[in-house]
Structures are given as C-alpha cells and as structure tokens.
Amino acid sequence: MGNFRHLLLLLGLFGLEVAAQNETLTIAAVTSQIDEFLKLIQNGSLATREASSLPTGCSLACSFINFALPGQVSFPDSITYEYQESRYWSYFQSTDTPTCRFAPVNPLGVSLAVLTVQVTQCEFAVKSGGHGMFSGASNIDGGLTIDLLELNEVIISADQTQTSVGSGNRWVDVYDVLEPKGLSVIGGRVADIGVGGLTLGGGMSFFSGRYGWACDNVNTYEVVFADGSIREVSYSTYPDLYFALRGGGNNFGIVTRFDLATFPQGDLWAGSQTYFYTNETAAALNDAVYWLNINAPSDPYGQVILAYAYVQSFGAWALSAEVQYGKPEAYPPILSNFTKPPGAIASTLAVTNLTALTISFNNSNPGGFRETYWTLTVKNSPTILNDIVNIFQEEINPINTVENLLPALVFQPITEDIISHFSKNGGNALGITTADGPLILINIAISWSLATDDAAVFAAAGNTIARANATAYAQGLGFPFIYQNYAALQQNVFEGYGAANLAKLRAVSEKYDPLGVWQKLQPGYFKVF
Ligand SMILES: Cc1cc2nc3c(=O)[nH]c(=O)nc-3n(C[C@H](O)[C@H](O)[C@H](O)COP(=O)(O)OP(=O)(O)OC[C@H]3O[C@@H](n4cnc5c(N)ncnc54)[C@H](O)[C@@H]3O)c2cc1C
Ligand SMILES: *[C@@H]1O[C@H](CO)[C@@H](O)[C@H](O)[C@H]1NC(C)=O
Ligand SMILES: *[C@@H]1O[C@H](CO)[C@@H](O)[C@H](O)[C@H]1NC(C)=O
Ligand SMILES: *[C@@H]1O[C@H](CO)[C@@H](O)[C@H](O)[C@H]1NC(C)=O
Ligand SMILES: *[C@@H]1O[C@H](CO)[C@@H](O)[C@H](O)[C@H]1NC(C)=O
Ligand SMILES: *[C@@H]1O[C@H](CO)[C@@H](O)[C@H](O)[C@H]1NC(C)=O
Ligand SMILES: *[C@@H]1O[C@H](CO)[C@@H](O)[C@H](O)[C@H]1NC(C)=O
Ligand SMILES: *[C@@H]1O[C@H](CO)[C@@H](O)[C@H](O)[C@H]1NC(C)=O
C-alpha cells in the first residue's frame, strides 16, 4: 500500500483529494493521468490484467479507475461483481456482463468515471435500483457499469421539509428513515425500485394526487455534467436543465443526489380485492376508473391500480382492484366504486404503512424473469378500457401456455389533481397539462421464462399497444404521452412528450452536452436524439 501511495503521488492522482475541495476534475487532467498510467505499465512498473499488450477502451478505463480508486471497481467472477449483477430485477439486465463495475462512493468518483470514459472511448451504463426491464437499460455488455449503490445517504433537513437522498438508494431505504418520524416523500410503490430511474422518468407514488409525480418534488439535483463538473441544479440555478431532468431520463447527466420535498405522512388504508374475470365485474371496475377521474378533485387522497391478468394456476383471467387511501380511514367514499362489486375471491384491505405496503408490492413483483413493459395513455372514457381488455385477452389467449407466463394489463388514472402539480416551478417535460383533462395510463407488464417464447410474447404486447392505440384514436380518445418508466425500448418516449418539448430537450442537450456523451457513449435506454 505504501507503494501505492507513492504511485498516486507520482501520477498526481493525489490531486483527486485536493480537487475534491473544489469539486472539479478536468478532461485535460484525466488525459494526462491516463498517459502517465500507461507509461507505468509500459515500463514494467505496474502489472495489468492483460499480460501482453497495453490496455485500451474499457479495459483501460476499468484498470485506470481501479488504480485511482482502489476497492471501488470489481471484475467478472469476483464476489462484488456477482453481487451487484444479482441486483437487477429483470433477467435481461442481469445477463449483461460489463468489463467491470464501478461503485463510486462520492460524486467525485462519478466525475472521474465520466471523464475517463471519454478519454478511453469506453461505452457505459448507469444503475440506481436496476428495475429497468430491458437489456442495456442500466447495464452494458463489454462496457463500464457505474453502479450508484454506495450513494445511499438519506438526510432530513432540520426543519423536516426536505430530504437529501443519494441516487443509489432503493425507495424502501428512504421510507425506513422517514416513516418513524411521520414523514414521507413522493417515490416508488415497490420497495426495491431505485430513486434514480423512477425520479428521472416521472415517478408515480401513492400520494401523487396531493403532490404530483416524483419529478415534480425535487428541489435540487446534484448532477455530474459531461465536462466532469459537479453542480447543483434547481429552478433558480439552471431552469432549462431543471426542466429537462423532470422526465428526461438518462440524457442530461448523472444525478448523484436528489433533494426531495418532504411532508408529514402517517398510516394508510390500502389493499386489494381480487375477482375471477367476468365481463360485468370488468365493466363495473373500468367504469369506476372513469368516475374516479371525474370525482378525484373532491378527495386527492384516493388512488387505484386496476390490474387484469391471466393466471395459469387458475386457468382463467382474474382482475384486481388495488386501492390506496393516504389516511388510516377504511372504505372512504372516493374509493367506494372499487370495493363495491360482489364476489371477491381475496381481499387484503387494511390499515397499513408505506414501508409494509411497498414490501408487499415487492413480494408480488418477484425479480429474475424475462420481462417486458409497454405503455399507452388514453383520454378518460367509460368504455375504452373494456375495448382494451378485450384486445389484450385476444392477443394473450393464444399464447397462454407459455412457460411461467404472467401477463398483466394495468390501468391507473392520471387525475387532474396529479396533473395540476406538473406545472410547478416552470413545469416538467412530460407534455401533459390540465387542459388535456384527466387521462388513463395503460401498462402492459409480462413475465415469462424461456427465450424460445420471446418472439411470441413481444408480438402479443406490441400488437396490443398498436390495436389499443388505433381503437382509442378512432374514438377520439387517443393521447400521445408514452410513460418512460413503463415503456418498451421499441416505443418513442420523447416524441410522446410533444414536438415543442422534444425540441426544448434537444436544445438543452446540445447546450450542456455538446459532444453527446450521454447520447453516444451511454447507448442504453431512451435517447432524445
Ligand atoms: C416491479 C416494478 C414496479 C414499478 N413501480 C413503479 C411505480 O410505482 N411508479 C413508477 O413511477 N414506476 C414504477 N416502475 C417503473 C420504474 O420507475 C422504472 O423501471 C425505473 O426506471 C426504475 O428505476 P431504477 O433506478 O430502479 O432503474 P435503473 O434500471 O437503475 O435505471 C433506469 C434508467 O435510469 C437511469 N438512471 C438511474 N439512476 C440515474 C441517475 N442517478 N442519473 C442518471 N441516470 C440514472 C439508468 O441509467 C437507466 O437508464 C416499476 C417498475 C417495476 C419493474
Ligand atoms: C480551488 O480553486 C481556486 C480558484 O479556482 C484556487 O485558487 C485554489 O487553489 C483551488 N484549491 C485547491 C485546493 O485546489
Ligand atoms: C516508469 O514511468 C514512470 C512514469 O512516467 C516514471 O516515473 C518511472 O520512473 C518509470 N520507471 C522506470 C523503471 O522506468
Ligand atoms: C409498519 O408496519 C409494519 C407491519 O405492520 C410494522 O412492523 C412497522 O413497525 C411499521 N412501521 C412504522 C414506522 O410504523
Ligand atoms: C364478454 O365480452 C366479450 C367481448 O365483448 C364477448 O366476446 C364475450 O362473449 C363476453 N362474455 C360473456 C360470458 O358474455
Ligand atoms: C361511482 O359510480 C357512479 C356511477 O355508477 C357515479 O355516479 C359516482 O359518481 C361514482 N362515485 C365516485 C366516488 O367516483
Ligand atoms: C424484493 O424482492 C426481491 C426478490 O424479487 C428480494 O430479493 C428483496 O429482498 C425484496 N426486497 C425487500 C425490501 O423486501
Ligand atoms: C397512436 O396512433 C397515432 C395516430 O395514428 C400515432 O400518431 C401514434 O404514433 C400512435 N402511438 C402509438 C404508441 O402507437
């Protein structure tokens, strides 16, 4: 180790600690440090993983970062690497194998990585909770994966109105700190979802009727820019970039910390009622979604997730109304249409708390399967949902024997209460205003086991979306919004935000990332270009 310190001094990498005080590394500094590093290898002072030749590309990026920040980089077959690889929700992501994984312990480490990948031209991916569903979303074959899991601070401000959350936290770890203090934030509904991806894509919570989506509740983002600088982005410091981060996904920098608006929150009343599918129950619950959208302004504490699924063990379709009320009050009138239909085969309605609720949702969404999510948004209507259920059943029934198939179709109201918060602080990038009226968010979520079934499953999901969209537009009920957090890679998320917002997002990208680092060197997920 003494030797190591000597080498660090030799290379000027000791400057990393010094630079930390000023929070800046530059591309020039990192270029010259990598040159020195290569000289050390060339003249035999330093052994590398590759015996014969000088490392290039991601091998160079990995060995250089490993040298500069020992203990934070892991390579295939190590326990650390395998552990981090096991923390993806979807099979498609856990089977991507990066050259190495880097788990920075502070923003400066992220900055070093962002500059190193540019010097070495190494493609990279960034992971928070790892719930992105498709290959390459937050992992990368043969590249560098920056795993934010060590950025896990949760710090409540003295006045309890803001919580600073490291971007590698899972939501349950945030709620664990806040809940005993009677506080909460707008975040995910499944325990293990990451703060990073959910918040950058929008972020639907149990409390969105009162406060909007997660992206509408970030006071300040701490962001590593493409030039390696680390800056505090808020509505007052960088209004254009702040807008772009509110729905822009991974296109605008690596967020290392989110300062989240924090509010008092106690127990909830929540749970589900599950039924065997009948046309009558379906029609009644679909109608209830329509009426909730009409009546929501009378009580923004009520929320619902209405899900249809083919259940192989029943050999039948089932539907489940998941209701949540943000107070510990049973059977609130706003949710009465969802609890009314007779004949439930299971009911879990009870007073509960956020941590327990997100763990129960986590248990009903186990990881490790092949997964695909697709999405669509339609205007509020009492009948369009029946049409979409029929389309989904027509597409799924012919493949319902696919091994371990679990196909779900999920409806969630986007009420005018929710939308009213989208315009806070200059507005978010999603392209929805109260003039659009209440909307219904549609999500198709399918899991299965075998690669030989991939084509059939993707076709059923894609066909459902195309047919549902055509049906909606034919009835004047179409709407362009594509929710990034539920979208398939085949879907055009940013076009769905509308031409004006897409143009703004592209202009912000060109201004803050003129070389296209987030667009080109980070190929995974949805891109504004
Ligand atoms: C079981 C399940 C339940 C879900 N429930 C909800 C829900 O209740 N509400 C909701 O809105 N959505 C929900 N989603 C969707 C979820 O929000 C998205 O999958 C989201 O992308 C997950 O975020 P993550 O950090 O876990 O994923 P990751 O795969 O880690 O990240 C997703 C994308 O965001 C990028 N990213 C992550 N962190 C950062 C960062 N700090 N800086 C820059 N880029 C970053 C990654 O590079 C990647 O491209 C759910 C998904 C699943 C699978
Ligand atoms: C920090 O930056 C200032 C101004 O750019 C400079 O004068 C100072 O020497 C730097 N401090 C360190 C520790 O690098
Ligand atoms: C190897 O290169 C480094 C960096 O340029 C230099 O400091 C060192 O003296 C060299 N060692 C040998 C054995 O040549
Ligand atoms: C939340 O509920 C669970 C399960 O009932 C309980 O164990 C836990 O203590 C509760 N947490 C808080 C903060 O009330
Ligand atoms: C349910 O509705 C579908 C679509 O309208 C129809 O084809 C089917 O026959 C109905 N089922 C019953 C049992 O009425
Ligand atoms: C419940 O549904 C009926 C129509 O069946 C509607 O008149 C009523 O407003 C709905 N109530 C709520 C709270 O949505
Ligand atoms: C969430 O579920 C996964 C299995 O899919 C499990 O590994 C993890 O521990 C669960 N998280 C919590 C907080 O229960
Ligand atoms: C829905 O249809 C409209 C009108 O034809 C089209 O512009 C849009 O791209 C379609 N959206 C999806 C998700 O297929």
* CATH code assigned at 429: 3.40.462.20
Average pLDDT of the residues of the chain: 95
- What pLDDT sits at residue 283? 98
Share of the chain above pLDDT 70, in %: 95
Same-domain status, 287 and 260: no
301 domain residue, yes or no: yes
- What pLDDT sits at residue 292? 98
Q: Is the pLDDT of residue 450 over 60?
A: yes
122 domain residue, yes or no: yes
| Ligand 3 site, residue 105, Cβ cutoff 6 A | no
| Ligand 6 site, residue 312, Cβ cutoff 6 A | no
Give the mean pLDDT of 457-461.
Answer: 98
d(CA 365, CA 355): 15
Beta carbons of 187 and 143 less than 8 angstroms apart: no
Which of 287, 290, 295 should be mutated for ligand 6, with most atoms under 8 A from CB?
295
359 alpha carbon – ligand 7 mean position (Å) = 8
528 domain residue, yes or no: no
Same-domain status, 289 and 340: yes
Among all bound ligands, the one having the nearest atom to the CA of 41 is 3
Among all bound ligands, the one having the nearest atom to the CA of 266 is 4
Give the mean pLDDT of 446-464.
Answer: 98
Same-domain status, 250 and 181: yes
d(CA 86, CA 141): 15
- The pLDDT tens digits for 276-326 are 999 999 999 999 999 999 999 999 999 999 999 999 999 999 999 999 999
430 domain residue, yes or no: yes
Positive or negative: CA dihedral 373, 354, 303, 250: negative
Tokens of 376: 């669509």
- What pLDDT sits at residue 17? 54
Among all bound ligands, the one having the nearest atom to the CA of 495 is 8
- For 437, the domain range is 269-352+366-494
Same-domain status, 386 and 290: yes
Closest atom of ligand 1 to 223 CA is 42
The model's confidence at residue 23, banded by pLDDT at 50, 70 and 90, is: low
Of 202, 125, 235, nearest to 422 (Cα)? 202
Same-domain status, 375 and 304: yes
| Ligand 4 site, residue 97, Cβ cutoff 6 A | no
Helices (H), 421-498: 454-474
Share of the chain above pLDDT 90, in %: 92
357 domain residue, yes or no: no
76 domain residue, yes or no: yes
Q: Taking CB atoms and a 6 Å cutoff, what residues make up the pocket around ligand 1?
A: 89, 125-132, 137-138, 148, 167, 188-190, 193-194, 196-198, 200-204, 249-250, 254-255, 365, 485, 524-525
Kindly calculate the radius of gyration of the chain based on its CA atoms and give it in whole angstroms. 24
* CATH code assigned at 87: 3.30.43.10
If one counts every other C-beta atom within 10 angstroms of the C-beta of residue 454, the result is: 14
Give the mean pLDDT of 85-98.
Answer: 98
Tokens of 110: 């992220």
- 3-state secondary structure string across 147-204: EHHHCCCEEECCCCCEEEEECCCEHHHHHHHHHHHCEECCCCCCCCCEHHHHHHHCCC
Give the mean pLDDT of 147-166.
Answer: 98
The model's confidence at residue 1, banded by pLDDT at 50, 70 and 90, is: very low
Q: How many CA atoms lie within 13 A of 518 on its CB side?
A: 30
- The pLDDT tens digits for 337-392 are 999 999 999 999 999 999 999 999 999 999 999 999 999 999 999 899 999 999 99
Q: Is the pLDDT of residue 254 over 90?
A: yes
Q: How many domains does the chain have?
A: 3
The model's confidence at residue 90, banded by pLDDT at 50, 70 and 90, is: very high
Same-domain status, 255 and 291: no
Residue nearest to atom 6 of ligand 3 (CA): 40
Residue nearest to atom 5 of ligand 5 (CA): 390
Q: In a 10 Å sphere around its CB, with 0-12 CB exposed, 13-18 middle and 19+ buried, how is residue 499 labelled? A: exposed
The model's confidence at residue 53, banded by pLDDT at 50, 70 and 90, is: confident
Same-domain status, 251 and 307: no
| Ligand 3 site, residue 45, Cβ cutoff 6 A | yes
Same-domain status, 135 and 205: no
Closest atom of ligand 7 to 366 CA is 5
* CATH code assigned at 242: 3.30.465.10
341 alpha carbon – ligand 6 mean position (Å) = 13
Same-domain status, 234 and 279: no
Residue nearest to atom 11 of ligand 2 (CA): 22
Q: Is the pLDDT of residue 16 over 60?
A: no
Q: Cα 179 from chain centroid?
A: 22
d(CA 508, CA 502): 10
Closest atom of ligand 2 to 21 CA is 13
384 alpha carbon – ligand 5 mean position (Å) = 15
- The pLDDT tens digits for 461-505 are 999 999 999 999 999 999 999 999 999 999 999 999 999 999 999
Tokens of 102: 């880097």
359 domain residue, yes or no: no
| Ligand 4 site, residue 353, Cβ cutoff 6 A | yes
Same-domain status, 117 and 30: yes
Same-domain status, 466 and 450: yes
Q: Is the pLDDT of residue 431 over 80?
A: yes
529 domain residue, yes or no: no
d(CA 303, CA 305): 7
Beta carbons of 171 and 191 less than 8 angstroms apart: yes
DSSP line for 287-350: HHHHHHHHHGGG-TTEEEEEEEEEETTTTEEEEEEEEEESSS-SS-GGGHHHH--S--SEE--E
Positive or negative: CA dihedral 49, 54, 55, 60: positive
Same-domain status, 117 and 164: no
Give the mean pLDDT of 396-405.
Answer: 98
- What pLDDT sits at residue 468? 98
